[in-house]
Amino acid sequence: MEQIYFVTLIMVLALWLLYDFKIRKDEKLLNIGTEHETWKQMIPLMLLLGAAFLIKSYCTTFAQGHTTDVTCFQAWSDMVYQNGITKFYHLDAFTDYPPGYMYVLYVVAWIRGVFDINVSSDASVYLLKLFPMLCDLGTGYLIYKLARKKFSNTCSVILTGVYVLSPAVVLNSSVWCQVDSVFTLTVLLTCYLCMEKKRIPAYFVFAIGVLLKPQTLIFTPILIFTIIEQVFLQDFNWKKFVKDLCWGLGAIVTMLLLAMPFGLDKVISQYRDTLGSYEYASVNAYNFWALLGQNWKTQSGTLLGMEYRHWGELAILVAVALGAWIFFKLKEDKSKYFLSMAAIVCTMFIFSVRMHERYMYPAMALILIGYVISRKKEMFYCFIGVCVTQFVNAAHVLYYNLELGTSGVEGKVIDFTAILLILIFVYFIYSCLHVDKPVVQEKPQKKHKEKKVTVTSASYIRGSKVLKKLGRADYIVLFSIIILYSAFAFIYLV
């Protein structure tokens, strides 16, 4: 447990120092980004991603992973390869993953067979972790591409490193052996394509995400919001409507075709069973319900005369409404495509039922990209907070699994993390709705006849408020994370 607190403290300090000494400076500059990078500019990024891959690969040696998850992935990969895709869901075995990831596991088993790798060996586990680690790097590249439009090359590389080397990200794929990074990448690509008004590719990417992991359905509102805005509110015409409708149906048909080899009836039953499983108020998610002591307690319990599951259903409705409010309030601010989805997943994780410890994983990348696009410092603070709570939550659960052989976590760290997360959530929503985006002054464009350009004070932009000092709320969030977690490391060693 001491290692968890130590890594948390180092993560907070490192992120704060990087922001204070480099990122914040770029945050105030204008016209330092570019739409196109040269190969020379890409070299630092390639070096970073290469180093990150090596570090992640080394971290796979720390542990084989969560015993239940690793056992399931090993068994499923062997089952789907040995028995074939058509028989997989017909076998008398526990399966709670959709067909999309079974294709990935089939490839893993095929590679294992080619190189004669034992299914229970460390090399086999590394193959299971390889695809999620590559998706981490893919997300990092997307962050770099978006950051490069607003920040310098150096700062863009730093922002990429901040994500791919975040302990919460490394823990999930390299240590735990989970696949949240896989569907997270599809969610981010869907948001990005919607932002770029490329709705048709977005439909298909989202469909792939649903095939990979059913939690992708949490982010369905991004398609609904985008269609309302770009199809109905912006120059509506029937030709555009019919085109989107046909391609949307095409994406659904593609899903059905990819699922068909497994047997459509079995696939539909698989989704229904998976979405209806784990009927508990909280499944190791350090959220509102865990704070009330309802971790691994049935969702049929009551609060204020209403069952937990009904409160969870209400939380889903509130999450979608909150996401819609943020999306349509931000109007021309393109960060809305990411921040609205972050609001939805955070609201559901904190207040809905049946949430696992990893279900808020996509919020880290969504909030960081929201910061990259909006350059609102408050979003970076929220990113730090979400990284901290996600890491502590997942690391604590994994510690109990590997060291104590149980999923029944306990300790004051649950309450502390839940309270901290709720405070960060409130700060995040407030920052989305009430903190103005920095006022931008465009730098005069260089004329073709000019041989040199004089850099003037227009190269700098200032926020709508003086940025010399942080606000009181900012200090509360930052120093509460640093001081409280430092104290907690020495006082409450579970």
The answer, yes or no, to whether residue 486 has pLDDT greater than 90, is no
* CA 412, chain centre distance (Å): 26
Q: 405-442 pLDDT, tens per residue?
A: 888 899 999 999 999 999 999 999 999 998 776 655 44
What are the tens digits of pLDDT across the range 307-340? 999 999 999 999 999 999 999 999 999 999 999 9
Q: Which of 102-116, 223-237, 461-475 bottoms out in mean pLDDT, i.e. has the lowest?
A: 461-475
Residue pLDDT, tens place only, 4-60: 878 888 888 888 888 888 888 887 777 666 767 778 888 999 999 999 999 999 999
Residue 104 has pLDDT above 50, yes or no: yes
Neighbouring C-beta atoms of residue 76, cutoff 10 Å: 24
Between the alpha carbon of residue 110 and those of residues 40, 81, 82, 103, the distances in Å are 37, 7, 10, 11
**Tokens 């008398």 map to which residue?**
92
Residue 25's contacts (CB-CB under 8 Å, 6 or more residues apart) are none
What is the average pLDDT across 361-378?
96
Higher pLDDT, 117 or 482: 117
Question: pLDDT tens digits, residue range 349-368?
Answer: 999 999 999 999 999 999 99
Amino acid letter, 169: V
pLDDT at 464 > cutoff 50: no
**What integer pLDDT is reported at residue 7 of this predicted model?**
87
- Name the burial class of residue 57, with classes exposed (0-12), middle (13-18) and buried (19+) by CB atoms within 10 angstroms of its CB: middle
Question: What is the pLDDT, as a whole number, of residue 226?
Answer: 97
Measuring CA to CA, which residue among 266, 283, 287 is closest to residue 86?
266
When the pLDDT of each residue in the chain is averaged and rounded to a whole number, the result is: 88
Half-sphere exposure of 325 (CA within 13 A, CB side): 13
Is residue 465 pLDDT above 80, yes or no?
A: no
Q: What is the pLDDT of residue 492?
A: 35
Radius of gyration of the chain (CA): 23
Q: What's at 219, amino acid-wise?
A: F
**Tell me: the pLDDT tens digits for 126-147?**
999 999 999 999 999 999 999 9
Is 128 in contact with 106 (CB distance < 8 Å)? no
pLDDT digits (tens, 9 = 90+) for 172-195: 999 999 999 999 999 999 999 999
Q: Please write the tens of the pLDDT for every residue from 276-316.
A: 889 999 999 999 999 999 999 999 999 999 999 999 999 99
With a pLDDT cut of 90, the percent of the chain lying above it is 74
Per-state percent for the chain, helix, strand, coil, to nearest 5: 70, 5, 25
Phi and psi at residue 460, in whole multiples of 5°?
Answer: -115, 150
Q: Which residues contact 174 (CB under 8 A, 6 or more apart)?
A: 56, 57, 59, 60, 62, 129, 133
- Of 48, 219, 60, the C-alpha closest to 141 is 48
- As a whole number, mean pLDDT of residues 365-393 equals 96
- pTM, two decimals, is 0.88
Measured between alpha carbons, how far is 396 from 482 in angstroms, rounded to an integer?
Answer: 18
